[in-house]
Amino acid sequence: MHTAFEPTATWYSDARQYWKDVPSTVEGMLGGLGRLTDLDVRDSTWFLDDTTYGLDCGAGIGRVTKQLLLNFFDRVDLVECTGKFLEQARDDVLKQEVETGRVDRLFHTGLEAFSPEAQRYDLVWCQWVLNYLTDDDLVLFLKRCVAGLKPNGIIGVKENCAVSEYVMDHEDSSVTRSDAVFKSLFERAGLHVIKEAVQSSFPSDLFTVRM
Ligand SMILES: C[S@@+](CC[C@H](N)C(=O)[O-])C[C@H]1O[C@@H](n2cnc3c(N)ncnc32)[C@H](O)[C@@H]1O
């Protein structure tokens, strides 16, 4: 046990001599722990990779990805339940971005059945789609989204808001919720609101749109 660092006079030459005798292999580089190389490189890759990722939920034809999310994030994934919209995104609206890899994964599924990959996203954006989920499915979906966020990741929600708690629409099986109902669901999912705004300049006969 030493309490101070007192290098010997031959400090550097001793190290060089030591390494001269070590085999020129991965095992040699890792002092016999070559089996750890994959784990080592995996975590270093996470550490160095600052590629930013967004997820567009209920992406439709990719309108929000194209006009908004790709301005902020290096890569965007889409999740959407209507196949023809996703095809339009892939083959037309986002064709170039798919080819260059800026649009990465396209998930054809409903949010109620979707689980994002762990710690992948800086932002999960849900716009005009949470009205298609039941309350319980919405809470479970948000909890799964939390698991899909990087450590400083956030969830963005932009939805119509009603004055009364719930306004049902049986034509498209959707429900418009009040701001208070949304907040209680966010709380049930273990989330808290860090920023809020109201969409401006929309026609006055529409629902209020809150972010
Ligand atoms: C009003 S559009 C909004 C599309 C897009 N977010 C935008 O703002 O351009 C609603 C979208 O939600 C999708 N959708 C409906 N129910 C869904 C569900 N359970 N899971 C995922 N997407 C759903 C529809 O197919 C449609 O593309």
Instruction: Write out pLDDT tens, residues 134-187.
Output: 999 999 999 999 999 998 999 999 999 999 999 999 999 999 999 999 999 999
CA distance 146 to 160: 22
pLDDT score for 5 = 94
Q: Do the beta carbons of residue 188 and residue 172 sit within 8 Å? A: no
Assess if residue 1 is contained within a domain: no
CA distance 159 to 199: 10
- Phi first, then psi: give them for residue 131, nearest 5 degrees: -70, -10
Q: Which residue lies with its CA nearest to atom 18 of ligand 1?
A: 110
pLDDT score for 146 = 98
Assess if residue 139 is contained within a domain: yes
Q: C-alpha distances in angstroms, 107 versus 58, 104, 134, 190?
A: 10, 10, 20, 25
Assess if residue 16 is contained within a domain: no
Read off the pLDDT of residues 53-81 as tens digits, 9 standing for 90 and up: 999 999 999 999 999 999 999 999 999 99
Calculate what percentage of the chain has a pLDDT beyond 90: 94
Assess if residue 106 is contained within a domain: yes
- Phi first, then psi: give them for residue 203, nearest 5 degrees: -55, 145
Q: Is 62 in the pocket of ligand 1 (CB under 6 A)?
A: no
Where do the H-state alpha helices sit in 63-208?
A: 63-67, 83-88, 95-100, 135-148, 179-188
Give the list of residues 6+ apart from residue 88 with CB closer than 8 angstroms, or none: 61, 62
pLDDT over 90 (residue 46): no
pLDDT score for 50 = 85
From ligand 1's centre to the CA of 32, what distance in Å?
A: 53
Band (48; pLDDT cuts 50, 70, 90): confident
Assess if residue 101 is contained within a domain: yes
CA distance 202 to 61: 22
pLDDT score for 52 = 95
The number of domains in the chain is 1
Assess if residue 169 is contained within a domain: yes
The answer to whether 82 is annotated as binding is yes
Q: Is 148 in the pocket of ligand 1 (CB under 6 A)?
A: no
Question: Which residue in the block uniquely carries the two structure tokens 């994030």?
Answer: 73
Assess if residue 185 is contained within a domain: yes
pLDDT over 80 (residue 1): no
Q: Is 64 in the pocket of ligand 1 (CB under 6 A)?
A: yes
Give the list of residues 6+ apart from residue 115 with CB closer than 8 angstroms, or none: 144, 147, 148
- Scored b (16 or more CB within 10 A) or e, 19-34 reads eeeeeeeeeeeeeeee
Read off the pLDDT of residues 99-141 as tens digits, 9 standing for 90 and up: 999 999 999 999 999 999 999 999 999 999 999 999 999 999 9
Q: Do the beta carbons of residue 92 and residue 23 sit within 8 Å? A: no
Q: Residue 172 belongs to what domain range?
A: 51-210
Question: Which residue in the block uniquely carries the two structure tokens 């170039």?
Answer: 96
Assess if residue 146 is contained within a domain: yes
The stretch 179-198 carries a mean pLDDT of 98
Give the list of residues 6+ apart from residue 92 with CB closer than 8 angstroms, or none: 61
> Residue 120: which CATH number?
3.40.50.150
Residue 162 identity: A
